[in-house]
Amino acid sequence: MTTHYRNPALAVDVVWLARGKVLLVRRGRPPFRGRWALPGGFVEYRETVEAAVARELREETGLLARSVRLVGVYSGPDRDPRHPTTSVVFRMSGRVATPHGGDDAREAAWIPLADVEPLAFDHSVILRDALRQERRLRRRRA
């Protein structure tokens, strides 16, 4: 008899901060169609999370960047209304350029941190955590 496991989906998300702004995408599909979110998406079969985060960033914004640190791992049965999801979130850095929405992102833009509205999914929590992490790192360097 074969055992079938129901596992959460694995996703990646991008936090890219530059010059007091954060890179966001406006969702083109449900759930949260029309709301701003961090770039990201699902990890494909036989793909590493490191490869997936670079791919999703490129597909949704047209930008290239490298991961500089892990922000965290976010999990829970209610993070995504479609199904349980676990996200590995990376802080990214690279040449700042004008993003262009692609794939399931209707739009992509650098949004001033002061103007960020509540984000789709739990991305407001993720962004808050990334900003705290950034402040701690700056204090250590000072």
3 part of a folded domain: no
Does the pLDDT at position 74 exceed 70? yes
Asked if the structure places residue 77 within a domain, the reply is yes
Residue 1, in any domain of the structure: no
Whether the pTM exceeds 0.85: the reply is yes
Residues annotated as catalytic are: 107
Residue 74, domain member (yes or no): yes
Place 124 in a pLDDT band, splitting at 50, 70 and 90. very high
pLDDT, mean over the chain: 95
pLDDT surpasses 80 at 142: yes
Nearest residue to 17 via CA among 55, 59, 52, 69: 69
Determine, yes or no, domain membership for 4. Answer: no
Indicate whether 1 pLDDT > 70.
no
Residue 103's pLDDT is: 83
What confidence score (pLDDT) does residue 91 get?
A: 98
Q: What is the pLDDT of residue 127?
A: 98
Q: Which domain holds residue 78?
A: 9-141
How many domains in the chain?
1
**Predicted confidence (pLDDT) per residue in 8-61, tens digit:** 999 999 999 999 999 999 999 999 999 999 999 999 999 999 999 999 999 999
For the chain, how big is the Rg over CA atoms in Å? 15
Is residue 72 in a domain? yes
CATH classification of the domain holding 126? 3.90.79.10
100, part of any domain: yes
Whether 105 shows a pLDDT value over 70: the answer reads: yes
Residue 82 lies in a domain: yes
